[in-house]
Structure 1
Amino acid sequence: MDFDLTDEQRLLKDSVDRLVADRYDFEARNAIRKQPEGFSRELWAQYAELGILGLPFAEEDGGFGGGAVETMIVMEALGRALALEPYVATVILAGGVLRRAGSAAQRQELVPQIAGGERLLALAHGERQARYNLADVATTAQKDGDGWVLHGTKSTVLHGDAADTLIVSARVSGGQQDADGVTLFLVPADAAGLSRRGYPTQDAQRAADITLANVRVGADAVIGAPGQGIEVVRRVVDETIAALCAEAVGAMEATLHLTVDYLKTRTQFGRPIGNFQTLQHQSVDIFVALEQARSMTMYATMMARSDDAAERARAVAAAKVQIGRSGRLAGQKAIQLHGGVGMTQEYKVGHYFKRLTIIDLMFGDADHHLAILAQLGGLIATEKAA
């Protein structure tokens, strides 16, 4: 299998790498995270000019027709930069729902605005009681004439406080944990009865808790087939996990470079500490963990858009397990090799470890996905005897 990038993909990689290298040093990031929205609207506009906001959308909808590999390239670069912009929330999660289930009219209206950097979206799906069960939805939607009335609460909505439009999941039938009976709705963030409480997360990103109290939407707000929203969410979450794995690889790569540079410059007993063999072994452990994570991320990237749900689930679960384990090892060893400075807010390596830790927790940690992988019979499924 050919893992080489095409000329177009190399051009994309060079362009994104150059943008984040020029505009996203650590001091600039510290200034950005202190802004009211927690990210830079100026940089968001530059993302739009570069074309990465419209990257995964079809050309006929106003996008650029990119695939999973192009998303992987962008996410690795954003991971190296510890970028704070709502790329995952708007383009990967909410944008993925639009790509997978949005009507032609919905896509034609929203995709050009997303690609142009004019509209932010967020997927409001998770609820406090659900943990990692995507089918656990207590928010309800009741028919009201031609429209719907939504009532409930959504928790930890990524960049939900800055979004212009929310994609909200709500149950229209069935029990609270039934896979069937959940519908997805487009809801304006300023809709009557909708309130948001935004807050920073441990990795300097932003999230919000969303409350819907008798929020009314029209029939045109429904995304996809009524009652079939969970299947869409599962598909999009698989694609998002693959993208987050790529971001983690970028963060681990930057962590390794920071650590090796530190070992070359920090002196003890009259010589750089990188000359001590035991510390060299520790940095090699980080390198091995990084390459294991990179390999599994490539596999998950190739499989994330597969129509075979079982094979896709195996690949995504296996990648999430490896990313969780590699991220923890890389972060812990990097902090240890840096000593006390690695724990300070003023030094970047600790912030990489925070982001890697949050990525491990998003949509199920390593232990959760290891259990899924075991239930599926492992990464390579064995045929049952007849």
Structure 2
Amino acid sequence: MDFKLTEEQQMLQETAARLVRDAYGFERREQFRQGDSGFSPAFWQQLAELGLTSVPFAEQYGGYAGSGVETLLIMTELGRGLCLEPYLPSVIHAGGLIQQLGSDAQKQTLLPQVANGQLQLAVALEEAQSHYQLHDVKTRAEAVEGGWTLNGRKSVVIAGQSADLILVSARVSGQQDDEAGISLFLVDPNGEGVRRRTFPTMDGRTACEIYLENALVSSAALLGAEGQALPALRYQQGRAIAAQCAEAVGSMEAACALTLDYLKTRKQFGQVIGKFQALQHRMVDMRIELDQATSMAMLAACMADQPDSVERSRALAAAKFIVVRAARFIADQGIQLHGGIGLTWEYMLSHHAKHLLMIARQFGDDDHHLQAFSALLEVA
């Protein structure tokens, strides 16, 4: 197979890499993290001005009509810089759900605003008891005159604290773990009956819990057919997983580079520790894991936009499993080879390690995806 990038893809990659390199130093990231929004609105606007927020969308909505490969190129660079901006939840995940489920009017209204960076979205699918199962939904939606009332709680909504609209899954019929009867709604986080509790995540990002108490939304807030949102939720989570794998690869590349540089400069017993064969072997093991994860991230990127199938689901589950195992290994070994400094908040490696461990839990951990892969093998 030919894995060479086209000229346009190379330009896209260089644009994203240059932007992150010039605008996202570690010290500046810390300033962004401590800001009101938890990221840099100015950097978000730069992403939009360069057209990077429009890449996944169709041309009719002001997009670039990019594939999973273009998404991989952008997400890798954002991961390398530990960028805090909500590119994955807003552009990839929420934007993909609207593009798949939305009516023509909803797509014409919302997607151009997401593509040009004016509208920020978040996705609220998980609940305290759901444990990665998208069909385990307690939140209820009841039809009322002119719309719906929502009651329930959504957990760990990444970037929900600054979102203009939040896509909330709620059950319109059936029991808590039924696969049928789940709908998706556009919810104004500042609307009556909606409350947010904001908190920092372990990797420096910001998330929130959402409490819905008779929150009223209009009929136009329903995305897709009533009670039939689950297939789209699963499909778009697959696209989000592929993007997340690419982000993890960028972070792992940076962690490996930091570790190698440290081995070349740190001296012990009168010589740099990189000359010790045992440490060289551990560095090689890190690179082997990174290469394997990179290959699986590329596979996921190629499969992400394919029609839903057992083969697609199997490839994405395998990719997430391999990438998570590699992320844990590289985070652990990087800290071990650095020693105590690798854990300090002032050193960038600790933030990469925390981010990689956060990725290992979002959208399902390695055990969850190994089980999913095994079940899909039985189907095949």
Q: Give TM-score scaled by structure 2 length.
A: 0.98
Structure 2 residue 42 is matched with structure 1 residue 56: no
Identical-pair percentage:
49
The 5-angstrom pairing of residues 218-297 of structure 1 reads: 218-297=218-297
Distance in 2 (CA, whole Å) between partners of 1:336 and 1:42 is 36
Q: Which residue of 2 aligns with 1:36?
A: 36
Please tell me whether the aligned partners of residues 132 and 363 of structure 1 are also in contact (alpha carbons under 8 angstroms). Answer: yes
Distance in 1 (CA, whole Å) between partners of 2:224 and 2:62 is 20
Displacement of 1:114 in angstroms is 1.3
Distance in 1 (CA, whole Å) between partners of 2:308 and 2:229 is 18
Please tell me whether the aligned partners of residues 293 and 326 of structure 2 are also in contact (alpha carbons under 8 angstroms). Answer: yes
Q: Which residue of 2 aligns with 1:198?
A: 198
Distance in 2 (CA, whole Å) between partners of 1:235 and 1:322 is 20
Please tell me whether the aligned partners of residues 61 and 115 of structure 2 are also in contact (alpha carbons under 8 angstroms). Answer: no
The 5-angstrom pairing of residues 301-312 of structure 1 reads: 301-312=301-312
The superposition leaves residues 65-119 of structure 1 with CA deviations (integer Å, 9 ceiling, x where unpaired) of: 1111010000000110000011111111111101111111111111121122211
Gaps of 5+ in 2: none
SS of the counterpart of 1:341? helix
Q: Which residue of 1 aligns with 2:142?
A: 142
Q: Which residue of 1 aligns with 2:214?
A: 214
Distance in 1 (CA, whole Å) between partners of 2:217 and 2:59 is 29
Q: Which residue of 1 aligns with 2:12?
A: 12
Gaps of 5+ in 1: none
The 5-angstrom pairing of residues 1-386 of structure 1 reads: 1-377=1-377
Distance in 1 (CA, whole Å) between partners of 2:127 and 2:150 is 15
Displacement of 1:322 in angstroms is 0.4
Displacement of 1:308 in angstroms is 3.6
Please tell me whether the aligned partners of residues 154 and 211 of structure 1 are also in contact (alpha carbons under 8 angstroms). Answer: yes
Please tell me whether the aligned partners of residues 305 and 312 of structure 1 are also in contact (alpha carbons under 8 angstroms). Answer: no
Q: Cα RMSD over matched residues?
A: 1.1
Please tell me whether the aligned partners of residues 62 and 108 of structure 1 are also in contact (alpha carbons under 8 angstroms). Answer: no
Structure 2 counterpart of 1:373, one-letter code: F
Task: Detail structure 1 runs of 4+ shifted over 2 Å in the superposition.
Answer: none
Structure 2 counterpart of 1:106, one-letter code: Q
Displacement of 1:346 in angstroms is 0.8
Displacement of 1:309 in angstroms is 2.4
SS of the counterpart of 2:151? strand
Q: Give TM-score scaled by structure 1 length.
A: 0.96
Distance in 2 (CA, whole Å) between partners of 1:377 and 1:253 is 31
Structure 2 counterpart of 1:249, one-letter code: V
Number of residues of Structure 1 aligned to a counterpart in Structure 2? 380
Please tell me whether the aligned partners of residues 264 and 273 of structure 1 are also in contact (alpha carbons under 8 angstroms). Answer: yes
Please tell me whether the aligned partners of residues 20 and 78 of structure 1 are also in contact (alpha carbons under 8 angstroms). Answer: yes
